[in-house]
Chains A and B, each alone.
Chain A
Amino acid sequence: DAGVIQSPRHEVTEMGQEVTLRCKPISGHNSLFWYRQTMMRGLELLIYFNNNVPIDDSGMPEDRFSAKMPNASFSTLKIQPSEPRDSAVYFCASSFPQGHLNTEAFFGQGTRLTVV
């Protein structure tokens, strides 16, 4: 398996523009997580899905952020409109469900977002 695949790897956009980050989880995993990493706040969980259903989005910072998982092999994180303080590295991770012998979260390479 190629692992968790995120695109794009780098994104530079202007303030006010819409940004869409994409994630393809590992085949067979049914839990998917979006994290954000900044120097100031470290790694924060934004939202996670089980079986394509959002379970906890309490980490989503504002209404400008939204996430979807239309099927088991694809998820998006959208920011509209984007602001400079959204600049960060966004990670997607996937895992088997709780109780599975191989319970661990596998991370993608991340998307480095810069909003200017």
Chain B
Amino acid sequence: AQSVTQLDSQVPVFEEAPVELRCNYSSSVSVYLFWYVQYPNQGLQLLLKYLSGSTLVKGINGFEAEFNKSQTSFHLRKPSVHISDTAEYFCAVTRTDSWGKLQFGAGTQVVVTP
């Protein structure tokens, strides 16, 4: 089975500062990796995904993430955050041979203050 660990439950950050959200996974087989964002009282929206190819993936809203197979990590970064980035962020993984069973991390709450 695979698992996902988001190392920070909450990350406070000032507006226009950079932010990094850490995600580590474990799996005995190849996986696909995702980052989702959830705004209050909303569903989840995909920020970016890693399926194959370049290990640096760029997503919406200026976010990017780097897949590091040796470190089994998929950390999310943004060089300059806005107030509107205040939300909860979820890292998720699914096995490449059983698409659909997304395993989510516990989430990281990002709070951006002026």
Contact = CB atoms under 8 A, between A and B. Distances in A.
A42 B107 contact: yes
A45 B101 contact: yes
B102 interface: yes
B45 to A, nearest CB: 7
Interface size class of B (residues with CB under 8 A): 20 to 34
B51 A103 contact: yes
A43 B101 CA distance: 12
Contacts, number: 49
Nearest to A55: B100
The binding surface of chain A is classed by DSSP as: strand
Contact of B100 (A43, A56, A91): A56
Contacts of B45: 107
B70 interface: no
Contacts of B104: 42-43
Interface of A: 4, 31, 33, 35, 42-43, 45, 48, 50, 55-56, 91, 93, 95, 97-99, 103-110
13 contacts: A31-B100, A42-B104, A42-B107, A43-B90, A43-B107, A48-B100, A50-B100, A56-B101, A99-B99, A103-B49, A106-B46, A107-B44, A107-B45
